Chain A
Amino acid sequence: DGGITQSPKYLFRKEGQNVTLSCEQNLNHDAMYWYRQDPGQGLRLIYYSQIVNDFQKGDIAEGYSVSREKKESFPLTVTSAQKNPTAFYLCASSIFNSAETQYFGPGTRLLVL
């Protein structure tokens, strides 16, 4: 089945710890995105990548880092610099430079211990 997978479903972070959220897609999409969702809020863009080995900051990139070494994978690291990391994180992908829709993964909920 084609789609986007995110793991883990739940993630707990201790104070001062870096954690990495996984996002994998087998849709052969060039573009991938990371969004953050807080309760009662819409999604806000953290980072996006339109091609392998290239990525751009979104609206709320501070305290986060990404890599794009493979077309299929776009992991997000929440660093200790992110002071309020508790949120629902959604990964998406789309065909680059197209009017097609973005496809979303099931999300990862990050909680702070």
Chain B
Amino acid sequence: KQEVTQIPAALSVPEGENLVLNCSFTDSAIYNLQWFRQDPGKGLTSLLLIQSSQREQTSGRLNASLDKSSGRSTLYIAASQPGDSATYLCAVRRYQAGTALIFGKGTTLSVSS
């Protein structure tokens, strides 16, 4: 059974710091992996989607990597800002496309000014 783990559960950093969020999964047979952002009481916003054949994706200050063989992904946030404060969720889609996502519990990030 696929399990997704995110470490750390919470993280507090001062503004301007670079940081890394970690995600691990137990079954390497995945179709793709996504990173989402969730603000309190809100829905999810997709940040980056990495297909199983890709190694990384970048969007602005965000960079996500994928090492399928070791079952790991990282989300790198450069020059953090208070507006980055949110919960970040990692999710994997099993090899069959069209099926649902399996989520980690998330990392809650707080960036202080």
Contacts and interface: CB of A to CB of B under 8 A. Distances in A.
Contacts, number: 63
The size bracket of the interface on B is: 20 to 34
B101 interface: yes
B41 A107 contact: yes
A71 interface: no
User: In terms of DSSP, what is the predominant structure of the interface of chain B?
Assistant: strand
Contacts of B99: 48
Interface in B20-64: 31-32, 34, 36, 41-46, 49, 51
Nearest to A42: B103
A77 interface: no
B49 A101 contact: yes
Given A50-B98, A99-B51, A101-B34, A41 B105 contact: yes
A42 B89 contact: yes
A53 interface: no
A55 B94 CA distance: 18
